[in-house]
A and B are shown apart, each in its own frame.
Chain A
Amino acid sequence: MLLRLTDRGLWCEAADIYIDPWAPVDRAVVTHAHADHLRWGHRHYLVSEAGLGVSRHRLGAQADRVSAVAYGETTTINGVRISLHPAGHILGSAQIRVEYKGEVWVVSGDYKTDADTTCAPWEPVRCHTFITESTFGLPIYRWPAQQQVFDEINHWWRENANAGRASLLYGYALGKAQRLLSGLDPSIGPILTHGAVETMTSIYRDAGVAMPPTTYATVDQRDPAWSRAMVVAPPSVDGSTWVRRFGKHAAAFASGWMQVRGARRRRGVDRGFTLSDHVDWPQLLSAISATGAERVWVTHGFTGPVVRWLQEHGYEASAIATRFEGERDDAAVDEAESTESETGGATS
């Protein structure tokens, strides 16, 4: 096997590299900067050029251990050819292609194949073995068109603004928040951000991604114009003292989980918008088919149903147990994020 699952993560023995390892290693190749994929403590990191800014920020004191390659550029170690290709998940997210003696493996990381102007679009990479996530691997998950969701969000914002209440929109600080910002209509009112979101957004701007003007909502400010404002914040602030400064407001959560009513109600927000940075069921199936892979390993999410479906359709498929988390909807993740937001990180 070119790649093997070890207790530190996915390991390529021939090159002695790990992909998104969860325990300290010498050389880590990292798909993207979410906390369950990019972890502290490795000696050396390789990421995509587009992801250099967010990765360095996330690693803080260990930022100098990171080096980057452009998408599609090949690095060779011990005869193993390694290259990174756009995954369409968040800024800098990559699929990792590993080739040795003619055999090709691709690790998807987190990915989606639909529209998003804040990162490079997913590209199919032909391979023999594809390792895919399955966060939303059930046919009940089918995303509406991105523009339709943005229209709904702007409509909701406009109604709130006309009723004199602020709109609080919750999405993970890295990736989801910037995608939401890219879809907002700034003519409706001012756009405010939580500190964790603002930090990440400025890194997106530095990387040349177009973002609407935003204002960091600090504690000591308060402005009457806020009654028309859209506030983009991580979900962990819901119900905390942080939101009190906005007075009367409506709250919404943007996530793939919002597709199902029960999940929407449990969130306890006024609205749920179905917007995800992971593949839905149709995207998952067409992505797998586009890789031409015969063998598929399935990780974090609905591994059972996806493996069975693939097997019934002639793939050699199996589930592997990793420590990646996908897009979670429970409180534990919010807590993890709120502690991380001090250093600007996010789990998704």
Chain B
Amino acid sequence: MIRFAALYDAIDASTGTQAKTDALAEYFANAPAADAAWAVAFLTGRRPKRLVRAPDLRTWAAELANIPDWLFEESYAQVGDLAETIALLIPENTAQSARATDISLAEWVEQRLLPLRTLAPAEQRTQLFEAWNTLRGTARFVYNKLLTGAFRVGVSDGLVVRALARTSGVEADVIAHRLMGHWEPSAEWFETLVSSATSDADWSRPYPFFLAYPLEAAPETLGAPGAWQIEYKWDGIRAQLIVRRGKVFLWSRGEELLNGRFPEVEAALALLPDGTVLDGELLAWQDARPMPFTALQRRLNRKTVGKKLLSDVPVHLVAYDCLELEGRDIRTEPMRERRKALEHVHEQLIARHAERSATPLTVSLSPLINVASWDDVSERRSEARAQEAEGLMLKRADSPYGVGRKAGEWWKWKVSPLSVDAVLVYAQAGHGRRSGLYTDYTFAVWLDNTLVPFAKAYSGLTDAEIREVDRFVRANTKEKFGPVRTVEPRLVFELAFEGIQESTRHKSGLAVRFPRIARWRRDKVATDADSLETVRAMLRAQRNET
């Protein structure tokens, strides 16, 4: 555990990717395989869910720290992070921690952490006291983070892959592929992960997704439009579909197996020949066009789907790319060739489907946008929202299907966001980097003479502005409800967002997508803010865009 805590500190203390990769590589080279396996799991976001109820944690921590509950809450309010508050509050029992020998990360996780879930509260309490008394410093903090299901560290999956590749000598792409899908962390698994033998990778496993960078420069800087494959950027769930050995696997970008959730799509995909892998987007679909993202959301958290939901919100796969054809990995072939393969596969699918079914096929090709000039492209982008798309994708026609993000190959060019001037009405303290500061805001717009809350936003201000707003919040609090403060409605901010939808769950009757603070309008007072009617007009305009 001490070694893993030291790795955490090293990553936390360094800002450069080089120093982080060095620390990771050193850890993987020296840690026992079982520890390294758990480390890979935690560093790539496969953390266990909360193991102990938060109210119990608070009570027991206050008890061991010998402080009243109110003082625990005061401390938590200052720190902003439960795991850290507990780590700081309990005095270090130096005698006991000096006697304790270091226990490996794997033993901590397998013998002491994961079993907590099934223990009775009294047993949990005993185990926690033992752990808190033996662990110190960062090790105690990391333990608490795992306990609360909130372990996070500032490294990307790409860095972990790079460090594993460096330690093992295995190519980064191979490591990345081996890390996809489902696996159980164990010493054996880690040995396979870094093994130079070309093992037959688990055949259900998806390829790493290739991602696009946002386009910030003018499109003219990309050369001739003819060198690019241009498509809509659909607003659904990116998915990879695998047909191997007579089985279909549908994976989300979050590497979650989606099988069983979209039966209408799976049934169609089952008609594809063995050895086919496609990349595409799952969309709620009606009358041969996508429905808004909120419709798809109704399907997302359902493991099984009822008849009514199936007919209310039918789902469709729009295919972007073909990664494997007739059992052959074709990711290194150029985009234009893979598109041909995709069209070929789709034709076969249409034919097979027509033989068996009279219902419409639930798989289609992402249409290509043919244009003569960048002006045309720009024009099509401005209409994207009317297609329920977020913007355009620009893929270099000779680009391979890479791993992760690579500049210059694929760009996403989103529609310019909508914006509204709104008044800050509620504030809540943030967590993590922003802990202890009021950073989570709710904004309101006018409806007659009252302010109606309509959006929450967390990002978009500079650190200096955040501190300033924090001081404003503390000095201008009208009421407190738990962690939320109602503030004097005085500050006006320009909020940017990607789209508006009607919503019955929101007081304003509207829901906005990806709201963020574009800038602080110090030049405006509350009465200058926009009205709900303005926002409704935007919604209407968005619908009528053609």
Chain A residues near B (Cβ < 8 Å): 138-142, 259-263, 265-266, 268, 270-271, 282, 302, 304-305, 308-309, 312, 330-331
Cα–Cα, bound, A263→B437 (Å): 10
Minimum CB distance partner of A156 in chain B: B13
Known: A140-B79, A266-B433, A268-B463. A259 touches B71 (CB 8 A): no
Cα–Cα, bound, A122→B399 (Å): 70
Cα–Cα, bound, A259→B65 (Å): 17
Find chain A residues with CB under 8 A from B67 CB.
139
> Pick the contact of A262 from B74, B81, B89 — CB < 8 Å?
B81
B91 at the interface (CB under 8 A from A): yes
Known: A140-B85, A330-B467. A263 touches B75 (CB 8 A): no
> Are A262 and B88 neighbours in the complex by a CB distance under 8 Å?
no
> Are A140 and B436 neighbours in the complex by a CB distance under 8 Å?
no
Cα–Cα, bound, A263→B463 (Å): 12
B78 at the interface (CB under 8 A from A): yes
Find chain A residues with CB under 8 A from B85 CB.
140
> Are B433 and A305 neighbours in the complex by a CB distance under 8 Å?
no
Find chain A residues with CB under 8 A from B436 CB.
260, 262-263
> Are B71 and A305 neighbours in the complex by a CB distance under 8 Å?
yes
Chain B residues near A (Cβ < 8 Å): 12-15, 65, 67-68, 70-71, 74-75, 78-81, 84-85, 88-89, 91, 432-437, 463-464, 467
Find chain B residues with CB under 8 A from A142 CB.
88, 91
Known: A140-B89, A262-B79. A305 touches B463 (CB 8 A): no
Shortest distance between the CB of B12 and any CB in chain A (Å): 8
Shortest distance between the CB of B32 and any CB in chain A (Å): 26
Find chain A residues with CB under 8 A from B84 CB.
260-261
Minimum CB distance partner of B141 in chain A: A261
6 inter-chain pairs at a CB distance below 8 angstroms, sorted by A residue, are A141-B88, A142-B88, A142-B91, A262-B434, A270-B14, A270-B15
> Are A261 and B15 neighbours in the complex by a CB distance under 8 Å?
no
Per DSSP, are chain A's interface residues mostly helix, strand or loop, or mixed?
A: helix
Shortest distance between the CB of A217 and any CB in chain B (Å): 24
Given contacts A140-B79, A260-B435, A262-B436, 18 further A-B contacts (CB under 8 A): A138-B78, A139-B65, A139-B75, A139-B88, A140-B88, A141-B88, A259-B88, A260-B84, A262-B80, A262-B81, A262-B435, A262-B437, A270-B14, A271-B13, A302-B74, A305-B71, A305-B74, A312-B68
Minimum CB distance partner of B73 in chain A: A305
Cα–Cα, bound, A309→B78 (Å): 17
Minimum CB distance partner of B91 in chain A: A142
Known: A138-B74, A139-B71, A139-B89. A260 touches B463 (CB 8 A): no
Find chain A residues with CB under 8 A from B437 CB.
262, 266
Cα–Cα, bound, A263→B467 (Å): 12
> Are A260 and B78 neighbours in the complex by a CB distance under 8 Å?
yes
> Are A138 and B75 neighbours in the complex by a CB distance under 8 Å?
yes
Cα–Cα, bound, A316→B437 (Å): 32
Find chain A residues with CB under 8 A from B89 CB.
139-140
Cα–Cα, bound, A159→B92 (Å): 28
Find chain B residues with CB under 8 A from A305 CB.
71, 74
Cα–Cα, bound, A263→B80 (Å): 10
Closest 5 CB pairs of A and B: A262-B435, A140-B88, A265-B433, A305-B74, A140-B75
Cα–Cα, bound, A140→B12 (Å): 20
Find chain B residues with CB under 8 A from A331 CB.
464, 467
Shortest distance between the CB of A273 and any CB in chain B (Å): 11
> Are B432 and A262 neighbours in the complex by a CB distance under 8 Å?
yes
Shortest distance between the CB of A253 and any CB in chain B (Å): 13
Known: A261-B435, A308-B70. A270 touches B78 (CB 8 A): no
Find chain A residues with CB under 8 A from B68 CB.
312
Minimum CB distance partner of A268 in chain B: B463
Find chain B residues with CB under 8 A from A302 CB.
74, 78
Find chain A residues with CB under 8 A from B71 CB.
138-139, 305, 308-309
Cα–Cα, bound, A96→B89 (Å): 32
Find chain B residues with CB under 8 A from A138 CB.
71, 74-75, 78
Residue with the greatest number of chain B CB neighbours at <10 A, chosen from A260, A265, A302, A312: A260
Shortest distance between the CB of B477 and any CB in chain A (Å): 14
Cα–Cα, bound, A271→B13 (Å): 6
Find chain B residues with CB under 8 A from A261 CB.
12, 81, 84, 435
Minimum CB distance partner of A265 in chain B: B433
Minimum CB distance partner of A330 in chain B: B467
Minimum CB distance partner of A271 in chain B: B13
Find chain B residues with CB under 8 A from A141 CB.
88
Minimum CB distance partner of B78 in chain A: A138
Find chain B residues with CB under 8 A from A139 CB.
65, 67, 71, 75, 88-89
Cα–Cα, bound, A266→B463 (Å): 8
Find chain A residues with CB under 8 A from B81 CB.
261-262
> Are B13 and A260 neighbours in the complex by a CB distance under 8 Å?
no
Cα–Cα, bound, A306→B85 (Å): 18
Cα–Cα, bound, A260→B435 (Å): 9
Cα–Cα, bound, A140→B84 (Å): 9
Minimum CB distance partner of B90 in chain A: A139
> Are B464 and A260 neighbours in the complex by a CB distance under 8 Å?
no
Shortest distance between the CB of A326 and any CB in chain B (Å): 14
Find chain A residues with CB under 8 A from B467 CB.
330-331
Cα–Cα, bound, A174→B5 (Å): 35
Find chain B residues with CB under 8 A from A271 CB.
13
Minimum CB distance partner of B432 in chain A: A262
Find chain B residues with CB under 8 A from A265 CB.
433
> Are A260 and B79 neighbours in the complex by a CB distance under 8 Å?
yes
Shortest distance between the CB of A306 and any CB in chain B (Å): 10
Minimum CB distance partner of B65 in chain A: A139
Minimum CB distance partner of B434 in chain A: A262
Minimum CB distance partner of A137 in chain B: B74
Cα–Cα, bound, A259→B85 (Å): 11
> Are A304 and B13 neighbours in the complex by a CB distance under 8 Å?
no
Shortest distance between the CB of B223 and any CB in chain A (Å): 37
Residue with the greatest number of chain B CB neighbours at <10 A, chosen from A140, A266, A282, A308: A140
Find chain A residues with CB under 8 A from B65 CB.
139
Shortest distance between the CB of A15 and any CB in chain B (Å): 36
Find chain A residues with CB under 8 A from B434 CB.
262, 266
